[in-house]
Structure 1
Amino acid sequence: MQVQKDNIRSKILKIAEEEFLKKGFKSVSMREISAKSDVGLSNIYNYFRNKNEILEEVLAPLLAAFNQLLEDHNQSKYIDKDIFTSEEYQLEHAETFVQLILKFKKELKLLLFHAHGSSYENFWDEFTDRHTETGFKYIQKMKEKYPQVNTNFS
């Protein structure tokens, strides 16, 4: 039955998230997740290849939101010389970040403070690099639209 499979999957994810938040990713074993979720260890492997894949799925909504932020950053409506003085723009972006924090509080805590030992332990550095790259693309677009803009800075 599909519903039962979805329930098992959800149960594994819920328990894993709780344990990752309590102990950190590295300190939680698949055996612990199995015992606390009452799902056999071999059965967990029918749903997830490894512990990192479980974490990936727990973080998926947050990571999608971060990716959307980067994608939205360089929209044509933001390629405007008055954008930096626009109170509307500033309020919109502040609200976006506040909502992101409110919606993903647990996931942010997990990602930023409890992901050591996972493929996400360097997430913040990698995200910063991606954001910087996005910023440089933004500057290029501004220069194309406004050739007089000085883009010579380090």
Structure 2
Amino acid sequence: MQVLKDEIQEKILQSSLELFLQHGFEKTSIEKIAKQAYISKSNLYNYFKSKDEIFEKLTSSAANKFVKIIDQFSTNQFTPKFCEVGFEDMMVTRIFDLINDNRNELLLLMLCSKGTKYEKLKEQLIGQIALKFMQDYKDYFSDNDPIVTIITHNLFDGIINVTVYSQSPKELHFNLHRLIRYHIEGFSALISD
């Protein structure tokens, strides 16, 4: 009997994932999830108390991994450092591994989380990275220089678009390399003036 319960829970999660990706969190109802999972709404509540709990179950692990990478970057735990030899390969590997293992969950967090506790996660992470750049390169940028936030937004949006449009892991890796190189070269040019 436990196998059946596990299968039903997995069907709820898979149906929710598909609907959240298609319609976003706010426009996906418990009724739609139950219908897509071929179960009654009351049976769905035997597995999850709310739509929020389903979203949390789908995304919490990926969110924690993503936040950890950003925290490591922000606290200088990465070796090599930004713009140093080897940084590009190291960042591409970390981002690729994260996306390759958590693609749909990251897309949920970045594109479909309005109405959840994660709806401001992207902006928080962008702010954290922008602050790190402003601190590390204070000789080149004034406090709250908008260009740093714009560049960081561009990087995040680029990573999201590479994730959406890459059709295979090989293409994802290739496109991430080009995107990260583009940002490193552009940022290096800004601070070399």
> What TM-score, normalized to structure 2?
0.59
Question: Are residues 131 and 86 of structure 1, via their aligned partners in 2, closer, same or farther at CA, if it must alter by over 3 Å?
Answer: closer
Rate the CA distance shift 1:129–1:45 in 2: closer, same or farther, 3 A: farther
Determine the C-alpha separation between the residues in 2 that align with 1:2 and 1:130: 43
Partner Cα separation in structure 1 for residue 119 and residue 78 of structure 2: 34
Q: Which moved more, 1:124-133 or 1:94-103?
A: 124-133
CA spacing shift, 1:76–1:127, aligned 2, 3 Å: closer
Instruction: Give the alignment of 1:2-151 within 5 angstroms.
Output: 2-73=2-73, 74=75, 78=79, 83-131=81-129, 135=132
Q: Could you tell me how far 1:21 is from its partner in structure 2?
A: 1.1
Distance 1:70 1:30 in 2: 33
CA–CA distance in 2 between the matches of 1:77 and 1:114?
Answer: 29
Residues 48 and 131 from structure 1, CA distance in 2 versus in 1: closer, same or farther, beyond 3 angstroms? farther
Task: Give 1:132 deviation, angstroms.
Answer: 5.9
Whole-Å Cα distance in 1 between the matches of residues 82 and 130 of structure 2? 17
One-letter amino acid of the structure 2 residue matched with residue 106 of structure 1 = N
Secondary structure of 1:119's aligned partner:
coil
For the aligned residue pairs, the C-alpha RMSD in angstroms reads 3.0
Structure 1: gaps spanning 5 or more residues: 140-149
Equivalent position amino acid for 2:16 in 1 = A
Instruction: Compute the displacement of 1:71 (Å).
Output: 4.7
1:142 is matched with which residue?
A: none
Cα distance change on mapping 1:43 and 1:97 into 2, 3 Å: same
Matched residues in 1 for 2:48 and 2:129: separation? 30
1-side partners of 2:112 and 2:77: how far apart? 37
Could you tell me how far apart the structure 1 residues matched to 2:114 and 2:105 are?
Answer: 14
Structure 1 residue runs of 4+, over 6 Å off? none
How far is 1:85 from its partner?
4.7
TM-score by length of 1: 0.72
Q: Distance in 1 between matches of 2:120 and 2:16?
A: 20
Following superposition, the deviation at residue 131 of structure 1 comes to 4.7
CA separation in 1, counterparts of 2:32 and 2:55? Answer: 14
Deviates more, 1:17-26 or 1:108-117: 108-117
